[in-house]
Amino acid sequence: MKKWLGISLTLAALFSALGAPWLAAHDPLRTDFAQSLKPPGAPGHPFGTDQLGRDLLARLLHGARLALFIGGCTVIVTAIVGGIVLAHWMMRGRTLEAAIARTPAPVISAVWAVMAFAIVIAQGSGNAFIYFQF
């Protein structure tokens, strides 16, 4: 049951994003100051309008198209780069394997350093840069 719910929600989001030009009644970039800050459920604007009078439903649908494009490009680039690295690793042998195995270590340590930096700032104990001298 959960599987079908997830699949149906994903397909609904995909079809609504791809069908944005036909589903959105208004232009997402057109401003109408007379219609600014209408609440959700206002006539002609089911999700309301923003400060410039732009329809929020149209902006949501057209923004989903951009988000899907960025996500798709990320998947494609990651697959290509990963395939190249994997092919190179399989042809070269162990030296590249060791380099790939050690690559995540600085990234993981940087995350912990940023978190420690944020904790020091949140505590408000003076100048946080004293604690992190690189």
Domain boundaries defined on the chain: 2-102, 104-134
Count of CB atoms within 10 A of residue 55's CB? 26
For residue 63, what pLDDT is reported? 93
pTM here? Answer: 0.64
For residue 130, what pLDDT is reported? 55
Query: Encoding tokens for residue 49?
Result: 């309008």
For residue 132, what pLDDT is reported? 53
Alpha-carbon dihedral sign for residues 105, 106, 111, 114: positive
For residue 69, what pLDDT is reported? 92
* Cα(40)–Cα(42) distance, integer angstroms: 6
Residue pair 45/35 in contact (Cβ under 8 Å)? The answer is yes
Q: Radius of gyration (Cα) for the chain, nearest Å?
A: 24
For residue 42, what pLDDT is reported? 93
| pLDDT per residue of the chain (134 residues) written in tens, 0 to 9 | 888 999 999 999 999 999 999 999 999 999 999 999 999 999 999 999 999 999 999 999 999 999 999 999 999 999 999 888 878 777 776 666 677 777 777 777 777 777 877 777 777 665 555 555 54
